């Protein structure tokens, strides 16, 4: 099937509503759909958007090509966003979709929407430095019989003057302002500022990563802005982040001298003088869009304020309005939760920008001060949630994630709204939410690991064990199905012999998530006589056969990457150990092996060792007992989580994932992981009866205790022996919140039952109001110690 529209346009917008093979199974393996734009008469020049089938009928892949003189060049593609999302089945589950494809000068964009969804499921953007001229548009579908149903189509020539009456804001700056696009989860405020203006304003982002006031000038990027900017436009100028760098590599390109302030604290404006451009810089940039000239401004020449002045003066001369921005602050907190000085001595680079704005009589948006106040009000942990997570699992102190970039943009818009800039009238409250959404793909989350994730399979536990893998689903959208395949006491080697490993290998598919957590049981290999049967020795080298990293990579990471799954690596959990009341985190030799694999294969990462060690250290020797299981015979299991400990750990893991750039964060219940539900009456009685070790069968029960519930027998026996009594007839109210009054009464009845006069005053003092799981389990632990 072919269709063409004969008018010839330079800039064009195409929008169509389509449906694949409505009477059959959708797009087959040979099916395709092509859209041609700026198609030349000889057929040798055009832009081509290919829509093709992915690995199955639920998947599509998108490719955008430029064909010039018959030679095809891939501009951009998206092979992941539409995987396992498109239901190409006959009937009502075979949806309509809308494609919007547009060219505006050298900028190309494509958006893909499923019927009923207002948010694009996939988007492509590309910029062509040598855009094709006028041509027709055409459509072609084939490879399958009746491959495409075209419901509606519109083709419009772009009015090149359509934006002429808009106020334009140009952005000059560095990586914190860059528009990273849909395929990169790091964010820049420049890509979200548009959300906070009405349609009378157009944002043109000319920021570039790594630039300073000096390197932006040296590369001719200012000239690029000047070639476009007109009278009435605004140019927002933000430098300083790279200008004040002191690392050796920065001096040649980016660093700028601040100079010594005079007796009044005024920083100098010393002119730069050009010298010959070093050959290696000239060669490195010569084939780029922004090459260096034969001469450049070196680090030894000119001060920061002078370089900033060059930008300001040039913008003024063009008739536009320059607006200076101080750079956003970084995550440099001191022990008191305050941001420390980090832009030169006494934040000199910040002060120099403020001074230049006063000297030139122009507006300065003090984003450093705004973000400093914001960060200090949020606190360290909350602020980290605005920032990108690097491949080694650490927080990026400078760059934002998408959510954080949008927050910063909102604060800038607020500052513009409160300024005397004429464009303040166009600031609006954004309706664009950069956070989790319900229009998410469905996927599985495979939890593959050992005891921390699985829990301990053991009898005689007074306080039962739990695995954090059993609690993840509680705080994750039901669009992600959690499959906890962890096995108690498994090692990276022994797990491959389990049925769970077969499920993992056979059921894992593209777009799924894999949480890998091995190493906690491996540490026993040093004392093992059968280490070659179960244990692998520590090594960072995945090519070293028989090592931990060898098994981790070849049996888990490699097959997951081959299926294009999202991998989340976990270090081993810490063990609970206190010496003289101080927590001691014993080093696990496999932790560094996991980190090495994270760095080599750029997987996502949660340092579970640090997470659990922090819990133990914060809660202290007594309080942390609630995190671990209790054995009636041997006491606390320091390397085995209790159910409460497992759920707490699960919430901590998901909190860490929220701070990362992994797409799993979009599925996490933000509010849920922040709240702690009180313990129920049934939970408390169930744990109490575990402590007593009573194996009797209940003779009777309360009317409101449902048959088959895990606590059914425990509650019935407690009733039989007089530890608990009925309320409101023969009812117990098992699912109601545990109160201090009920907990105290129950403990007293237990002590009477076993003829103990133990002093539980310290416990009773804490049993007030609704009882949290921490306090409830702590009270049970104390009772266990007394009875033991």
pLDDT (0 to 100) of residue 440: 43
Question: 138, 163, 290, 305: which is closest to 225 by C-alpha?
Answer: 290
Q: What is the mean pLDDT of each run of 10 residues along the chain (788 residues)?
A: 66 81 64 86 87 76 90 88 57 69 89 75 87 85 68 63 76 92 73 90 93 95 94 96 86 92 95 94 89 93 96 96 96 86 92 96 96 89 78 76 88 94 89 46 87 87 87 87 94 93 92 90 60 73 91 94 88 91 88 88 85 84 82 84 90 82 73 77 86 80 87 90 88 90 92 88 84 80 79
Strands 234-238 and 167-172, bridge-based pairing: parallel
DSSP SS3 for 780: helix
- Terminal CA-to-CA distance of the chain, rounded, Å? 81
Calculate ∠ Cα 541-545-547, nearest 5°. Answer: 60
DSSP string, 330-391: -S-B-TTS-BPP-SSGGGHHHHHHHHHHHHHT--EE-HHHHHHHHHHHH-HHHHHTTEEE-T
Tokens of 25: 């199974």
pLDDT (0 to 100) of residue 393: 57
List b or e across 248-268, with b for residues whose CB sees 16 or more CB atoms inside 10 angstroms.
Answer: eebeebbbbbbbebeeeeebe
Give Cα 603 distance to the centre of its chain. 12
Tokens of 185: 């989860």
Question: 667, 663, 666, 668: which is closest to 80 by C-alpha?
Answer: 663
DSSP SS3 for 319: coil
Rounded to 5 degrees, what are φ and ψ at 283? -65, -40
* Cβ–Cβ < 8 Å for 398, 330: yes
Alpha carbon distances (Å) from 390 to 72, 208, 653, 661: 35, 19, 16, 8
pLDDT (0 to 100) of residue 371: 95
DSSP string, 2-57: EEEEEEEESSEEEEEEEEE-TTTTSS-TT-EEEEEEEE-TTSS-EEEEEEEE-SST
* Cβ–Cβ < 8 Å for 60, 441: no
What gap in Å lies between CA 476 and CA 212, rounded to an integer?
42
DSSP SS3 for 286: coil
Q: What torsion do the CA atoms of 662, 666, 669, 675 make, to the nearest 10 degrees?
A: 50
Rounded to 5 degrees, what are φ and ψ at 766? -95, -10
What gap in Å lies between CA 589 and CA 755, rounded to an integer?
48
Q: 555-559: list long-range contacts, CB under 8 Å, 24+ apart.
A: 555/492, 555/496, 555/501, 556/448, 556/492, 556/514, 556/516, 557/516, 557/597, 557/601, 557/603, 559/505, 559/508
Q: 203-207: list long-range contacts, CB under 8 Å, 24+ apart.
A: 203/168, 203/169, 203/171, 204/168, 204/169, 204/170, 204/171, 204/228, 205/171, 205/177, 205/178, 205/179, 206/170, 206/171, 206/172, 207/171, 207/172, 207/173, 207/174, 207/175, 207/177, 207/178, 207/179, 207/238
What gap in Å lies between CA 191 and CA 176, rounded to an integer?
10
**DSSP E strand boundaries for 81-228:** 97-104, 107-114, 122-127, 135-142, 148-157, 167-172, 186-187, 201-205
Handedness of CA 620, 624, 630, 632 (dihedral sign): positive
What gap in Å lies between CA 695 and CA 630, rounded to an integer?
17
Q: Which distant-in-sequence residues (6+ apart) come within 8 Å of 247 by Cβ?
A: none
Place of tokens 């959990």: 573
């Amino acid at each position: 099937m072919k269709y063409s529209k004969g008018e010839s346009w330079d800039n064009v917008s195409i929008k169509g509503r389509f449906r694949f093979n409505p009477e059959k199974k959708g797009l087959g393996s040979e099916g395709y759909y092509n859209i041609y734009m700026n198609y030349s008469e000889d057929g040798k020049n055009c832009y081509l958007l290919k829509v093709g089938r992915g690995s199955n009928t639920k998947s599509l892949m998108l490719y955008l090509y430029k064909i010039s003189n018959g030679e095809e060049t891939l501009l951009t593609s998206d092979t992941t966003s539409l995987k396992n999302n498109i239901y190409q089945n006959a009937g009502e589950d075979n949806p309509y979709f809308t494609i919007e494809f547009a060219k505006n000068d050298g900028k190309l964009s494509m958006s893909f929407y499923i019927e009923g969804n207002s948010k694009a499921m996939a988007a492509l953007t590309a910029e062509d430095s040598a855009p094709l001229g006028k041509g027709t548009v055409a459509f072609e579908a084939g490879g399958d019989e009746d491959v495409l149903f075209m419901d509606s189509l519109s083709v419009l020539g772009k009015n090149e003057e359509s934006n002429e009456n808009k106020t334009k804001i140009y952005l000059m700056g560095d990586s914190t302002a860059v528009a990273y696009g849909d395929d990169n989860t790091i964010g820049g405020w420049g890509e979200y500022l548009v959300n906070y203006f009405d349609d009378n304003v157009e944002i043109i982002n000319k920021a570039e990563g790594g630039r300073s006031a000096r390197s932006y000038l040296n590369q001719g990027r200012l000239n690029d802005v000047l070639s476009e900017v007109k009278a009435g436009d605004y140019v927002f100028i933000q430098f300083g982040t790279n200008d004040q760098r002191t690392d050796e590599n920065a001096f040649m390109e980016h660093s700028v001298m601040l100079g010594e302030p005079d007796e009044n604290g005024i920083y100098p404006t010393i002119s730069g003088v050009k010298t010959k451009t070093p050959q290696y810089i000239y060669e490195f940039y010569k084939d780029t869009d922004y090459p260096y000239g034969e001469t450049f401004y070196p680090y030894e020449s000119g001060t920061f304020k002078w370089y900033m002045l060059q930008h300001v003066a040039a913008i003024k001369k063009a008739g536009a309005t320059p607006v200076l921005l101080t750079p956003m602050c970084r995550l440099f907190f001191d022990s008191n939760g305050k941001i420390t000085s980090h832009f030169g001595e006494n934040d000199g680079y910040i002060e120099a920008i403020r001074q230049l704005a006063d000297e030139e009589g122009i507006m300065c948006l003090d984003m450093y001060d705004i973000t400093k106040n914001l960060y200090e009000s949020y606190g360290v942990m909350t602020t980290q949630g605005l920032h990108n997570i690097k491949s080694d699992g650490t927080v990026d102190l400078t760059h934002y994630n998408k959510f954080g970039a949008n927050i910063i943009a909102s604060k800038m818009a607020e500052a513009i709204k409160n300024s005397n800039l004429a464009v303040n009238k166009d600031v609006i409250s954004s309706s664009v939410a950069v956070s989790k959404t319900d229009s998410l793909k469905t996927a599985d989350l495979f939890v593959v690991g050992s005891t921390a994730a699985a829990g301990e399979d053991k009898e005689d536990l007074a306080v039962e064990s739990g695995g954090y893998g059993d609690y993840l689903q509680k705080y994750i959208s039901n669009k992600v199905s959690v499959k906890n395949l962890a096995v108690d006491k498994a090692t990276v080697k022994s797990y491959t012999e389990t049925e769970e490993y077969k499920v993992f290998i056979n059921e894992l598919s593209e777009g799924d998530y894999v949480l890998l957590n091995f190493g906690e049981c491996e540490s026993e290999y040093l004392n093992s006589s059968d280490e070659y049967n179960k244990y692998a020795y520590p090594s960072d080298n995945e090519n070293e056969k028989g090592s931990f990293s060898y098994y981790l990579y070849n049996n888990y990471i490699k097959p997951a990457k081959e299926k294009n799954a999202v991998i989340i690596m976990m270090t081993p959990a810490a063990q609970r150990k206190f010496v003289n009341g101080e927590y001691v985190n014993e080093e696990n030799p496999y932790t560094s092996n996991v980190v090495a694999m994270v760095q080599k294969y750029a997987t996502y990462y949660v340092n579970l060792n640090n997470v659990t060690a922090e819990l133990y250290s914060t809660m202290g020797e007594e309080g942390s007992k609630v995190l671990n299981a209790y054995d009636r015979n041997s006491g606390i299991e320091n390397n085995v989580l209790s159910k409460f400990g497992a759920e707490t750990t699960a919430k901590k893991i998901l909190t860490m994932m929220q701070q990362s750039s992994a797409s799993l964060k979009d599925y996490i219940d933000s509010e849920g992981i922040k709240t702690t539900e009180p313990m129920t009456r049934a939970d408390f009685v169930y744990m109490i009866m575990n402590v007593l070790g009573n194996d009797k069968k209940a003779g009777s029960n309360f009317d409101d205790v449902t048959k088959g519930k895990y606590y059914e027998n425990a509650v019935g026996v407690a009733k039989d022996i007089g530890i608990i009594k009925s309320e409101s007839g023969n009812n117990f109210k098992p699912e109601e919140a545990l109160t201090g009054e009920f907990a105290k009464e129950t403990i007293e009845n237990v002590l009477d039952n076993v003829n103990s006069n133990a002093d539980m005053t310290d416990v009773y003092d804490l049993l007030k109001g609704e009882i949290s799981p921490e306090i409830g389990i702590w009270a049970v632990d104390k009772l266990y110690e007394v009875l033991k």
